């Protein structure tokens, strides 16, 4: 169990004539699990990230939102080691680290499900789930353990309620968009670590699929796993997030704990932050 | 019960489509055998197997590249260069080089050539088509330059060096063993399956933490290694190192791989089937030789075979997809 200190401060709400006290979930006096300071990234002449600060605590769910091209994907790709930052520092549990590759990120326990379907169409479901981390036989560490991989894939897909669980040998290109997204999420579930990054996990999913992903994120929190949840729509994020972070044109323009605001208030703030260059950090 | 019988039919159909090189080999062998009944004799069959061995290694080299989503135009030249350089070294120094090292010599040279390709395509990320086009000319030219335009006759080479390629049994058994190991390696080891991943989608491979540069380097190194092995067997097969060695291997190497069902899009195919493709080419080659068809006409024939193979493969894949979609 992860022990979390909460600020004993909250907000008194008046609903239907009853007073209620909403407990704050803002954490204080704690070292963030991951902290990024002043991150810059250039793509040629385009300044994709302009000095972004970002932090996430253990077991916290951060909803990262923003328009296309706001820099969300760039930010998470830097965290997961796919691309390298041009400037800035990354701290893991207060210690300065250098994430240069996907391997580095995985060693820190960072698992990412990318927005681009990171699947190989010509390979089967089982191999895709274990892509880059294939299981090998315990006695012969050079030989792949297909049987075990298929069993484990079947189990995890079953948990997600996906029909493809029956046939983990099926080639991925014959699957529907939702099933493909399911595989990406299944991968994050299987290799759950300290921090799971889900880049648009609800895209292409049915209503039931979205619910499943949101439940999954809640389960992560229960197990003390932090999660960065990226989405276009505030609504999906609002359901589960502890904190909302908004990027706009490569800058962080909003970073607020969710409990303080209603959905409507947040929507207004997002519009103001995005289009009127107001800052709420 | 009706459902299960169609399922069985579908499974059978899939199996045939996935391993189509072998049924095709049998069919074409039978047809050509009916034209020339001598082809049905066991010794002739063994001869065809033997004939296919050197080309078979080249087909494996090309197959690995195609599975990895790249193509290697320099295979023939690497074969020629490593055969020639190894031949020249052995001609001078065979008395001080131990037997096992002499066998490894062309393979080592092939590996170095492959690493050279891999350096540019893998670590410098240059286009494999252009790089191997350049090295194709480079190694071909070097081969002719170092040979001085002369053929190395077999009598100047150690007998044991020629043995694997010239002895029917050794050649065929080595080919079966090496291709079985390669097929197993590709499907059942991490590095092997990562070749499929890289061939399937380079971006995804990179994002999933596979070292793309290293894998491309590795693919070309493997290709070079198999070209080196092919050089050893070509030398033994010819019992000499002619200046033209390896010059006409590139196209058949493609043809064999494609007939064997290796997808040109990368990420798909198996070595067992490309071995079937190589044997099929061996049958056709043997048939053409028995009919004393001129080398020029044979080049025309190979061009036609590559074209037919690509067409056929396209058809085969769409048929396979339509069955898989229904299952």
Indicate the length of chain A as a whole number: 281
A129-174 confidence digits (pLDDT tens) = 999 889 999 888 889 999 999 999 999 888 777 788 888 888 888 8
CA A49: distance to chain centroid? 18
A218-248 confidence digits (pLDDT tens) = 888 888 889 999 988 788 888 889 999 999 8
Long-range contacts of A41-44 (CB under 8 A, 24+ apart): A41/A71, A41/A74, A41/A78, A41/A83, A41/A85, A41/A86, A42/A86
B9, burial (CB in 10 Å: exposed 0-12, middle 13-18, buried 19+): exposed
Residue of B nearest to A100 (CA): B209
pLDDT of residue B176: 96
Cα–Cα distance for residue pair A75/A53, rounded to 1 Å: 10
Q: What is the DSSP letter of A254?
A: E
Cα–Cα distance for residue pair B327/B318, rounded to 1 Å: 15
| C-alpha distances out from residue B309 to B127, B251, B277, Å | 25, 12, 10
Residue of A nearest to B200 (CA): A120
pLDDT of residue A96: 92
- Residues belonging to chain B with any Cβ–Cβ distance to chain A shorter than 8 Å: 187-190, 193-194, 196-197, 199-201, 203-210, 263, 265-268, 324-325
Alpha carbons within 13 angstroms on the beta-carbon side of residue A247 total 29
List the alpha helices (DSSP H) in B119-167. Answer: 128-147, 159-166
In chain A, which residues have their Cβ closer than 8 Å to the Cβ of B14? none
Tokens representing A123 are 């390979």
pTM, 2 dp: 0.85
Q: Does A143 touch chain B (CB under 8 A)?
A: yes
In chain B, which residues have their Cβ closer than 8 Å to the Cβ of A183? none
Q: Are strands A226-231 and A195-199 parallel, antiparallel or unpaired?
A: parallel
Residue of A nearest to B324 (CA): A174
pLDDT of residue A26: 54
Mark yes or no for CB contact B208/A103 under 8 Å: no
Mark yes or no for CB contact A174/B208 under 8 Å: no
Long-range contacts of A141-147 (CB under 8 A, 24+ apart): A142/B189, A142/B190, A143/B188, A143/B189, A144/B187, A144/B188, A144/B189, A144/B190, A144/B193, A146/B188
What angle, 0 to 180 degrees and rounded to 10, lies between the N-to-C axes of helices B159-166 and B212-238?
100
Mark yes or no for CB contact A143/B263 under 8 Å: no
| Chain A / chain B CB contacts < 8 angstroms | 69
In chain B, which residues have their Cβ closer than 8 Å to the Cβ of A82? 206-207
pLDDT of residue B147: 93
In chain A, which residues have their Cβ closer than 8 Å to the Cβ of B204? 116, 118-120, 131
In chain B, which residues have their Cβ closer than 8 Å to the Cβ of A179? none
The sheet that has A46-56: what strands, in order across it?
A46-56, A34-43, A87-92, A95-97
- CB–CB of A54/A36 below 8 Å? yes
Where do we find the tokens 């024939």?
A: B301
pLDDT of residue B234: 96
Cα–Cα distance for residue pair B149/B143, rounded to 1 Å: 9
Query: Which of B7, B18, B181, B209 would best serve as a mutation to test chain A binding (most A beta carbons within 10 A)?
Result: B209
> Which residue in A102, A170, A174 is closest to B209 by CB distance?
A102
pLDDT band at A259 (very low <50, low <70, confident <90, very high): confident
What angle, 0 to 180 degrees and rounded to 10, lies between the N-to-C axes of helices B21-35 and B271-290?
10
Mark yes or no for CB contact B200/A120 under 8 Å: yes
- CB–CB of A120/B267 below 8 Å? yes
Strand partners, A243: A62, A257
Tokens representing B62 are 């090309």
Residue of A nearest to B206 (CA): A82
Cα–Cα distance for residue pair A148/B270, rounded to 1 Å: 22
How far is B108 from chain A, CA to nearest CA, in Å? 24
Greater confidence (B81 vs A260) lies with B81
pLDDT of residue A29: 59
pLDDT of residue A245: 92
> Which residue in A114, A123, A170 is closest to B207 by CB distance?
A114
Q: What are phi and psi of B309, to 5 degrees?
A: -60, -40
pLDDT of residue B36: 83
How far is A259 from chain B, CA to nearest CA, in Å? 35
Residue of A nearest to B201 (CA): A120
Where do we find the tokens 């070209």?
A: B227
Residue A215: which H helix or E strand, with range? Answer: helix A207-222
pLDDT of residue A219: 81
Mark yes or no for CB contact B267/A122 under 8 Å: yes
How far is A122 from chain B, CA to nearest CA, in Å? 6
Tokens representing A41 are 């990234």
Q: Does A106 touch chain B (CB under 8 A)?
A: yes
The per-residue DSSP string of A77-105 comes to HHHTTSS--SEEEEEETTEEE---SHHHH
Residue A113: which H helix or E strand, with range? Answer: strand A110-113
pLDDT band at A31 (very low <50, low <70, confident <90, very high): confident
List the alpha helices (DSSP H) in A13-124. Answer: 72-79, 102-107
Of these ranges, A25-39, A203-217, B1-15, B228-242, the one predicted with the greatest mean pLDDT is: B228-242
Mark yes or no for CB contact A174/B263 under 8 Å: no
- ipTM of this complex > 0.90? no
Task: Show the low-confidence residues of chain B (pLDDT under 70).
Answer: 1-3
Cα–Cα distance for residue pair A241/A60, rounded to 1 Å: 8
Closest CA to B130 of B141, B146, B117, B140: B117
pLDDT band at A177 (very low <50, low <70, confident <90, very high): confident
């Amino acid at each position: 169990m992860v022990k979390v200190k909460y600020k004993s401060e909250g907000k008194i709400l008046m609903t239907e004539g009853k007073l209620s006290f909403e407990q704050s979930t803002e954490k204080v006096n704690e070292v963030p699990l991951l902290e990024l300071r002043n991150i810059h990234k250039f793509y040629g002449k385009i300044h994709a990230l302009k000095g972004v600060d970002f932090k996430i605590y253990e077991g916290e769910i951060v909803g990262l939102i923003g328009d296309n091209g706001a820099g969300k994907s760039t930010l998470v790709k830097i965290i997961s080691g796919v691309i390298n930052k041009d400037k800035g520092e990354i701290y893991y549990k207060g210690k300065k680290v250098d994430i240069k590759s996907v391997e580095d990120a995985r060693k820190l326990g960072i698992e990412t499900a990318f927005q681009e379907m990171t699947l190989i169409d010509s390979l089967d479901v089982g191999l895709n789930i274990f892509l880059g981390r294939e299981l090998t036989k315990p006695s012969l560490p050079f030989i792949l353990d297909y049987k075990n991989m298929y069993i484990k894939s079947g189990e995890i897909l079953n948990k997600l309620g996906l029909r493809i669980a029956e046939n983990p040998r099926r080639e991925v290109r014959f699957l529907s968009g939702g099933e493909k997204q399911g595989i990406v999420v299944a991968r994050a579930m299987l290799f759950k670590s300290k921090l799971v990054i889900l880049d648009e996990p609800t895209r292409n999913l049915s209503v039931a699929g979205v619910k499943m992903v949101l439940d999954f994120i809640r389960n992560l929190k229960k197990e003390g796993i932090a999660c960065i949840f990226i989405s276009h729509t505030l609504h999906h994020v609002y359901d589960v997030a502890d904190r909302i972070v908004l990027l706009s044109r490569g800058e962080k323009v909003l970073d607020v704990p969710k409990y303080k605001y209603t959905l409507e208030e947040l929507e207004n703030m997002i519009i103001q932050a995005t289009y009127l260059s107001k800052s709420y950090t | 019960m009706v459902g299960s019988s169609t399922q069985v039919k579908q499974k059978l159909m899939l199996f045939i489509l996935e391993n189509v090189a072998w049924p095709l080999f049998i069919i074409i062998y039978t047809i050509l055998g009916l034209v020339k009944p001598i082809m049905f004799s066991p010794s002739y069959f063994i001869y065809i197997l033997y004939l296919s061995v050197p080309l078979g290694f080249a087909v494996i080299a090309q197959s690995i590249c195609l599975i990895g989503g790249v193509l290697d135009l320099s295979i023939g030249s690497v074969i020629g260069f490593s055969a020639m350089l190894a031949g020249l070294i052995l001609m001078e120094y065979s008395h001080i080089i131990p037997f096992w090292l002499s066998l490894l010599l062309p393979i080592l040279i092939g590996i170095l050539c492959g690493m050279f390709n891999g350096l540019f395509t893998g670590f410098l990320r240059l286009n494999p088509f252009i790089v191997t086009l350049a090295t194709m000319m480079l190694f071909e030219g070097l081969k002719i330059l170092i040979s001085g335009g002369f053929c190395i006759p077999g009598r100047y080479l150690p007998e044991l060096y020629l043995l694997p390629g010239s002895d029917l049994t050794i050649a065929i058994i080595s080919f079966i063993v090496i291709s079985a190991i390669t097929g197993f390696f590709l499907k059942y080891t991490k590095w092997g399956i990562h070749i499929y991943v890289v061939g399937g989608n380079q971006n995804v491979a990179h994002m999933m933490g596979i070292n793309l540069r290293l894998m491309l380097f590795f693919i070309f190194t493997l290709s070079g290694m198999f070209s080196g092995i092919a050089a050893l067997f070509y030398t033994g097969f010819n019992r000499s190192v002619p200046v033209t060695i390896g010059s006409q291997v590139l196209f058949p190497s493609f043809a064999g791989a494609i007939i064997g069902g290796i997808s040109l899009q990368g990420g798909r195919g198996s070595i067992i089937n490309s071995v079937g493709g190589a044997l099929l080419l061996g049958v056709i080659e043997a048939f053409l030789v028995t009919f004393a068809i001129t080398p020029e006409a044979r080049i025309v024939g190979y061009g036609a075979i590559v074209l037919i193979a690509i067409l056929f493969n396209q058809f085969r894949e769409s048929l396979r997809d339509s069955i898989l979609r229904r299952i």
